[in-house]
Structure 1
Amino acid sequence: MLLDRPKQTQSSIKAEINYIKSNTSTAFDLSTTVKSATKLTEHVDTRLVEIMNARLLSQTPSLNSDGFGLAKNGYVVSNYFDDNVVQTELYPQIIKHLLNETNASQGLVFDHTIRSVEDNLTRKEKRSPIHTVHNDYVVSSAENRLSIELKKNGLNPHNYKKFQFINTWIPLVDEVLDSPLALGDIRTFQPEQSQKLQVAYPDRIGEIEAFTYNENNRWYFYPRMTSQEQLNFKVFDSDINNVISRAPHSAFSLPMSHEKSLARISIEVRSIVLFD
Structure 2
Amino acid sequence: MTETQGTATAAGEAATVETVMNYSSEDGGPIGYYFYEPEVRENFRPAGQDRRSVLVEDAWPQADRLSADVEGFEIHPFEGGFDAFENDETVRAAFYPQAVDFVKRHTGARQVVVFDHTLRRKRSQDIRTQTEVQRPVVFLAHCDFTPRSGPQRVRDIMGGEADALLARRVAFYNVWKPLYDPVEEFPLGLCDARSVPDEDFLVMHLKYRDRDGEIYTLRHSPGHRWRYFPGMAPDQALLLKTYDSETDGRARFMGHSAFDDPNSPPDRKPRQSIEIRTMAFF
- What amino acid does structure 1 have at the position aligned with 2:272? I
Looking at structure 2, the residues matched to 27 and 134 of structure 1 have their Cα atoms a distance apart, in angstroms, of 13
Deviations 1:102-151 (A, max 9, x none): 111111111101111146xxx83341111111000111111110112222
Structure 1 runs not aligned, ≥5 long? 33-39
> 1:147 aligns to what?
155
Amino acid at match of 2:185: D
**Letter of the 1:227 counterpart:** P
Unaligned runs of 5+ in 2: 38-44, 125-129
User: What is the 5 A alignment of 1:200-215?
Assistant: 200-201=207-208, 203-215=210-222
Q: CA RMSD in A?
A: 2.6
The correspondence for 1:130, drawn from 113, 126, 138, is 138
Q: Matches of 1:58 and 1:103 in 2, distance apart?
A: 19
Secondary structure of the corresponding residue to residue 95 of structure 1: helix
What whole-Å deviation, never above 9, does each CA across 1:219-273 have from its counterpart, x for those lacking one?
1100011111111110000001133112110110111588352211111100011
Indicate if the aligned counterparts of 1:179 and 1:264 stay in contact, CA closer than 8 A.
yes
Question: Are 1:72 and 2:41 counterparts?
Answer: no
Equivalent in the alignment of 2:55: 50
Letter in 2 for 1:142: G
Give me the whole-angstrom Cα distance separating, in 1, the residues matched to 2:121 and 2:174: 17
Q: Is the 8 A contact 2:174 2:242 kept in 1?
A: yes
TM-score between both structures, scaled by the size of structure 1: 0.84
Q: Quick check: 1:98 aligned with 2:88?
A: no
- Check whether the contact 1:78–1:85 (CA below 8 A) recurs between aligned residues: no
- Contact kept in structure 2, 1:27 and 1:199, CA below 8 Å: yes
Aligned to 1:221: 228
Contact residue 117 and residue 277 of structure 2 kept, 8 A:
yes
Deviations 1:16-54 (A, max 9, x none): 11111223534234449xxxxxxx936511111111111
Contact 1:184 1:249 in 2 (8 A): yes
Number of the residue aligned with 1:188? 195
Aligned amino acid, residue 238 of structure 2: L
Aligned to 2:18: 14
Match of 2:176 in 1: 169
Question: In structure 2, what is the Cα distance between the partners aligned to 1:86 and 1:142?
Answer: 24
Aligned with residue 272 of structure 1, among 255, 270, 279: 279
8 A contact 2:70–2:194 mirrored in 1: no
Identity rate of aligned residues, in percent? 27
Deviation string, structure 1 residues 187-225 (Cα, Å, up to 9, x no partner)? 111222111101234543311001111001111100011
Mapped pair 1:84 → 2:92: no
CA spacing shift, 1:107–1:258, aligned 2, 3 Å: closer
Taking a change above 3 Å as real, the CA distance of residues 227 and 146 of structure 1, as seen in their structure-2 partners, is same
| AA in 2 matched with 1:136 | D
The one of 253, 259, 266 aligned to 2:266: 259
Residues 161 and 184 of structure 1, relative CA distance in 2, 3 Å threshold: same
Aligned residues of 2:118 and 2:275 also touching (Cα < 8 A): yes
Aligned equivalents of 1:85, 1:258: Cα separation in 2? 33
